[in-house]
Structure 1
């Protein structure tokens, strides 16, 4: 289900879109100071798509320029006993910021999740990423009551 604003269109990325999505994903990794070789980024996205493990949505400006992406992992909530989607990665290219691309991506993600039967979309963001937090709150996301923990292996 595509999402759309006046300037941005969003649709599921296909195989042909992966090189452009990988370039955006590399920008996302750089933003979080986790650079990776381009071939590794492309292989990671291709593998997720081939295995059906992720939904990758790509935003484009009116002229077709890639503007951003959202990478989502469909999963389940044991407490809800229903599917939920984990919005794991969202990135808007610096040149496309303040164009509505982030909002369009979030809305398209929610629409796709709803159409797939998910009961919710969950996400985490850095505590200092106030712009993202403002966007998520404006789109109806609320902080949950659970503390997030991570065990590095």
Structure 2
């Protein structure tokens, strides 16, 4: 297996990240929409509304992304500190089990530390036990104290 490293995605990486992001959405039951994905990610990157990290190998025209993590900024009113929502984490199916998820989580942690954040928060499907084991191994603690509620305001809810 080639050696992967962590890089923050920029507009020049839009095509590669969009392909992985589209696969990620399909994994969660959405219809493939590469054009919509490109529009969505481009808007996030241009407005600096998220930080997208990717696990890559190669350089220049030979650079290939094997996974990504997307973080959104948030704040804790109670502690009056910044936190990051690790909203999306995805590794290409053929590369799973080779450490890319761990690499991405380590990068997200380092990024959160570098921004003075109090921490990271994430949500995962209750049956995604493989990811849950990785999160626990990386120090994440499952919240058994609070419930999550959602108010869906349109028909495109998750």
TM-score range, shorter chain: over 0.9
User: Residue 97 of structure 1 corresponds to which residue in structure 2?
Assistant: 96
Give TM-score, length-normalised by structure 2. 0.89
- The structure 1 residue matched to 2:5, chosen from 9, 15, 38, is 9
Could you list the structure 1 runs, at least 4 aligned residues long, displaced by more than 6 angstroms after superposition.
none
Q: CA RMSD in A?
A: 1.3
- Note the C-alpha offset of 1:95: 1.4
SS of the aligned residue for 1:89 comes to: strand
Partner of 1:35: 31
- Counterpart contact for 1:8–1:100, Cα < 8 Å: no
What are the residue-to-residue correspondences of 1:36-51 with 2, within 5 Å? 36-51=32-47
C-alpha distance in 2 between matches for 1:53 and 1:149: 23
In our comparison, the structure showing a higher alpha carbon Rg is 2
- How many residue pairs were aligned? 148
The answer for unaligned runs of 5 or more in structure 2 is 154-158
In structure 2, the partner of 1:119 is 118
Residue of structure 2 in register with 1:3 after alignment: none
8 Å CA contact retained: 1:7, 1:99: no
**Distance in 2 separating the partners of 1:130 and 1:143:** 12
In the alignment, what sits opposite 2:151? Answer: 151
Higher relative contact order (CA 8 A, sep 6+): 1
1:64 Cα shift?
Answer: 3.6
Could you tell which deviates more after superposition, 38-47 or 141-150? 141-150
Q: Aligned partners of 1:53 and 1:41: how far apart in 2?
A: 15
Report the Cα distance in structure 1 between the residues aligned to 2:73 and 2:84, rounded to whole angstroms: 4
Are the aligned partners of 2:16 and 2:64 in contact in 1 as well (CA < 8 Å)?
A: no
Select 1:55's aligned residue among 33, 51, 56.
51
Q: Which runs of 5+ in 1 are unaligned?
A: 1-5
The two structures have a TM-score, normalised by structure 1, of 0.92
